[in-house]
A and B are shown apart, each in its own frame.
Chain A
Amino acid sequence: MDLLQANGVVKKYANHLALDHVDITIPEKQITGLLGPNGAGKTTFIRIINHITMPDEGTILFKGKPLNASDIYHIGYLPEERGLYKKMKVGEQALYLAQLKGLSKRDAYQKLKYWFEKFEIGAWWNKKVEELSKGMQQKVQFIVTVLHEPELLIFDEPFSGFDPINANLLKQEILALKEKGATIIFSTHNMSSVEEICDNICLINKAKTILKGNIDDLKQQFKNNEVAIEFNGDPAAFRNKLNGNYIIKELIEQHHKHTAKIQLKTDKNINNLISLLINDFQISGINEILPKMDEVFIKAVETSNSNQ
């Protein structure tokens, strides 16, 4: 089931079209990466979900019903450009922001205590925000975002400003939230983190959705029919054997082993390759090369740009 469904969403600004009939579906209890080059329209879309701006056209369904203002209680949003009131004390500020999200003061206090202990930041409660390092502020901000246990969480570049240890901690927390049943929209330019945590992606380019779906499916779709094969034997013989039927893109020798990257022609598959080689070479490993997400990203964007 889809938690959020955007159909034909259009948003115009004075000088440009930010979203042009965008259709996006966010499956429930999964992590969906919202990707796209700078200025593609991601932030505008997120702002529309958050009821910060209104679409000019199109509908947004939240749990099957048109999105309305009270739904923001079920949404937690960590914007890319984030900040806190510098002069306010950490605890006081967290309580304030939690209450604005509809929590009662007592609930907010109790939940904050839990999270502050979990992140080991209880000692900061009475410190002013300006005394905290940037990473520490990010932690506070993350807590405030998830505190009211929203059904939909939107993280815009959540890892920026974190050291690897804390980034990992955060990643674990995000995955734990998903386990608990939260639906997560994850907007980032960091493709390796997309690969690590996303189930689906949705790629926006120049105000249009150009690609969406399950990551594994997309990788299949974008694969180049390439195979990496490790073997022992004479590389020249190897070249001869494959000549004409397969394209050898790369052949390197390493630790007395040879590794070749081979592109299959459309009428061939891995089994054909294996049966061709199996009698003459000792094959120690073979696997299909799936594209990395950044390759998918670049390819999709370039295709869509050249189609215009």
Chain B
Amino acid sequence: MNKILLIINREYLTRVRKKSFIIMTLLSPLIFAGMIVVPGWLNTQKDTKEKIIAIEDMTGLYQDVFENTDYIKYQYQHKKEAIEKKEALQKGFEALLVINSNLLQNPSDVQLISEGQITMNVQNNIKHQLNTYLRNEKLSSYKIDGLDEKIKEVNNLRVDLQTIRLDEDGKEKQSSAMFAMIIGMVSALLIYMFMLMYGTQVMRGVIEEKTNRIVEVMISSVKPFQLMMGKIIGIGLVALTQFGLWVILTLAVIFTLQNFVFNPEPQQIQQTMEMAQNNQISQASQTQEAAAKFNEVMTIIEDANIAGIIALFLFYFIGGYLIYSALFAAIGSAIDNETETQQFVMPILLPLILSIYVAMAAFNNPHGDIAFWFSVIPFTSPVVMMSRIPFDVPTWELVLSMAILACSFLILTWFAGRVYRTGILMYGKKVSYKEIWKWFIQAGK
């Protein structure tokens, strides 16, 4: 037992001390944090440049329609100083809005002329202001009593769909599909990434020992199985270390960026998402709503049994890593150098890649047959199950999937250990699947 600790220790330390590991561990959180913070930041930065839109109103009906916003200013051109289009743009106007006739009768007779591409923001603002005005005009043309009041009432109507999940004991829980999807997607992708990255590291480590010819020295002191498990566990701990550091550092970077660099409103991130969903809402109510939503999300996070999700994540993370790294170790033992890996690695990569596709599909239908079966099959279950977990998987499915994963870990490690034992001492042989099977059988004798 002491020996396996020594091996784990070596495998761990030599990797953690590598420059590439340190750089990767320190730089990636900056990238992750950037991916989270920058969209929010960009959102606060947009349209800070003041844009002036010239309006040429041929009809004279829309003289007081357009209100200036913070960054978009409207400037009416009176008929007598009506200018040529070219000229207007050269005068420093962002664009020229030309209204040719009564828009109630002829709604498409309005043009926005510019030299460059007009941003969606400006277009939306113009459309929004015109639409509101025209709708009110139309309504008032019906000559209804107390119309203004009614219009206000109508405008204030807004559906905010509350999604409620019922607990087993009937308690209501607020849920957010969006949030669930993000959790599911992130954890599925992380598991996929780590299984691939660190599984192949196990394989490379085994090949390294084989090509360095140190393996014979090693196994005169330790059992092949100890050597294999020591390597797998050591590298697994490196993966966990990297993962832990990523989480901590990413959070630290986000916190720092938000508080000291960009200093946006605290709900910035949440706001970004909300705005993507409904950018019709006016700025003021949006901020309010975002604040409310933010609080809501916080309660959802608290409700979502975060501890449970983290525990399951770690289980599937470790379980998935262990079965794949056992297979990768067996492959590494069977071949002499990395160029030969291709034919054996492909069949292992296929279920891994497939699992990421199924996980994507599971977001749309987390309780379908496909999602179920793939979250039970051990080769795909770590990724697929993690994508389903935020959608409340039935307990028996979870237990089944975890039990199968644990069993297949034992079986695969046993299998890999037997192949490994023979494989590491074989040199210069062109290895086939048949050969590997023979080793497996023979190791039992």
Q: How many residues of B contact A (CB 8 A)?
A: 24
Query: A79–B215 Cα gap in the complex (Å)?
Result: 10
Q: Which of A56, A75, A96, A144 contacts B10 (CB 8 A)?
A: A96
- Contact assessment for B213 and A83 in the assembled complex, using a CB-CB cutoff below 8 Å: yes
B222 at the interface (CB under 8 A from A): yes
B216 at the interface (CB under 8 A from A): yes
B212 at the interface (CB under 8 A from A): yes
Stretch of A85-93, A118-126, A201-209, A226-234 contacting B (4+ beta carbons < 8 Å): A85-93
A100 at the interface (CB under 8 A from B): yes
B173 at the interface (CB under 8 A from A): no
A255 at the interface (CB under 8 A from B): no
Q: Which of A14, A79, A101, A144 contacts B438 (CB 8 A)?
A: A14
Distance from A272 Cβ to chain B, minimum over Cβ atoms (Å): 55
Query: A97–B374 Cα gap in the complex (Å)?
Result: 44
- Contact assessment for A141 and B217 in the assembled complex, using a CB-CB cutoff below 8 Å: yes
- Contact assessment for A99 and B213 in the assembled complex, using a CB-CB cutoff below 8 Å: no
Query: A84–B214 Cα gap in the complex (Å)?
Result: 5
Q: Which residue of the partner chain A has the closest CB to B7? A: A100
Query: Quick one: given A13-B442, A87-B14, A88-B14, are A100 and B216 in contact (CB under 8 Å)?
Result: no
The interface residues of chain B lying within 8 Å CB-to-CB of A99 are 6
Query: A141–B214 Cα gap in the complex (Å)?
Result: 10
Q: Which of B6, B214, B222, B425 contacts A85 (CB 8 A)?
A: B214
A52 at the interface (CB under 8 A from B): yes
The interface residues of chain B lying within 8 Å CB-to-CB of A14 are 438, 442
Which of B7, B208, B212, B442 is the most central at the interface, judged by chain A CB atoms within 10 Å of its CB?
B212
Query: A75–B220 Cα gap in the complex (Å)?
Result: 9
Distance from A217 Cβ to chain B, minimum over Cβ atoms (Å): 32
The interface residues of chain A lying within 8 Å CB-to-CB of B104 are none
Q: Which of B208, B221, B427, B438 contacts A100 (CB 8 A)?
A: B221
B interface secondary structure, majority: helix
Q: Which residue of the partner chain A has the closest CB to B222? A: A100
- Contact assessment for B213 and A82 in the assembled complex, using a CB-CB cutoff below 8 Å: yes
Would you give the 0/1 interface string for B89-129, flagging 1 where the beta carbon is closer than 8 Å to chain A?
Answer: 00000000000000000000000000000000000000000
The interface residues of chain B lying within 8 Å CB-to-CB of A75 are 220
B219 at the interface (CB under 8 A from A): yes
- Contact assessment for A52 and B220 in the assembled complex, using a CB-CB cutoff below 8 Å: yes
The interface residues of chain B lying within 8 Å CB-to-CB of A101 are 221
- Contact assessment for B212 and A86 in the assembled complex, using a CB-CB cutoff below 8 Å: yes
The interface residues of chain A lying within 8 Å CB-to-CB of B438 are 14
The interface residues of chain B lying within 8 Å CB-to-CB of A97 are 217, 221
- Contact assessment for B217 and A82 in the assembled complex, using a CB-CB cutoff below 8 Å: yes
The interface residues of chain B lying within 8 Å CB-to-CB of A163 are none
Distance from A10 Cβ to chain B, minimum over Cβ atoms (Å): 12
Query: A100–B14 Cα gap in the complex (Å)?
Result: 17
Which residues in window 333-383 of B have CB below 8 A to A?
none
B3 at the interface (CB under 8 A from A): yes
A50 at the interface (CB under 8 A from B): yes
- Contact assessment for B216 and A79 in the assembled complex, using a CB-CB cutoff below 8 Å: yes
A81 at the interface (CB under 8 A from B): yes
B49 at the interface (CB under 8 A from A): no
A72 at the interface (CB under 8 A from B): yes
Distance from B6 Cβ to chain A, minimum over Cβ atoms (Å): 5
- Contact assessment for A84 and B221 in the assembled complex, using a CB-CB cutoff below 8 Å: no
Q: Which of A52, A56, A77, A141 contacts B445 (CB 8 A)?
A: A56
Which residues in window 15-41 of B have CB below 8 A to A?
none
- Contact assessment for A72 and B216 in the assembled complex, using a CB-CB cutoff below 8 Å: no
The interface residues of chain B lying within 8 Å CB-to-CB of A13 are 442
Query: A88–B217 Cα gap in the complex (Å)?
Result: 15
- Contact assessment for A85 and B220 in the assembled complex, using a CB-CB cutoff below 8 Å: no
B164 at the interface (CB under 8 A from A): no
Distance from B25 Cβ to chain A, minimum over Cβ atoms (Å): 18
Q: Which of B14, B212, B425 contacts A52 (CB 8 A)?
A: B425
- Contact assessment for A81 and B14 in the assembled complex, using a CB-CB cutoff below 8 Å: no
Q: Which residue of the partner chain B has the closest CB to A130? A: B212
Q: Which residue of the partner chain B has the closest CB to A89? A: B14
The interface residues of chain A lying within 8 Å CB-to-CB of B214 are 82-85
Q: Which residue of the partner chain A has the closest CB to B9? A: A96
B298 at the interface (CB under 8 A from A): no
Query: A85–B427 Cα gap in the complex (Å)?
Result: 18
- Contact assessment for A83 and B442 in the assembled complex, using a CB-CB cutoff below 8 Å: no
B411 at the interface (CB under 8 A from A): no
B393 at the interface (CB under 8 A from A): no
Q: Which residue of the partner chain B has the closest CB to A101? A: B221
Would you give the 0/1 interface string for A6-19, flagging 1 where the beta carbon is closer than 8 Å to chain B?
Answer: 00000001100000
Q: Which of A77, A87, A96 contacts B220 (CB 8 A)?
A: A77
Would you give the 0/1 interface string for B195-234, flagging 1 where the beta carbon is closer than 8 Å to chain A?
Answer: 0000000000000110011101111111110000000000
The interface residues of chain B lying within 8 Å CB-to-CB of A85 are 14, 208-209, 212, 214
- Contact assessment for A83 and B217 in the assembled complex, using a CB-CB cutoff below 8 Å: yes
- Contact assessment for A96 and B6 in the assembled complex, using a CB-CB cutoff below 8 Å: yes
Distance from B93 Cβ to chain A, minimum over Cβ atoms (Å): 65
Give me 9 A-to-B residue pairs in the complex whose CB atoms sit less than 8 angstroms apart, sorted by A's number: A13-B442, A51-B220, A52-B219, A85-B14, A85-B208, A100-B3, A100-B6, A100-B222, A141-B217
A interface residue numbers (CB < 8 A to B): 13-14, 47, 50-52, 56, 69, 72, 75, 77, 79, 81-88, 96-97, 99-101, 141, 144
Please name 15 further chain A to chain B contacts, defined as beta carbons within 8 Å, in addition to the given A77-B220, A83-B217, sorted by A numbering.
A47-B425, A50-B219, A50-B220, A51-B220, A56-B445, A72-B221, A79-B216, A79-B217, A81-B213, A84-B212, A85-B208, A85-B212, A85-B214, A99-B6, A100-B3
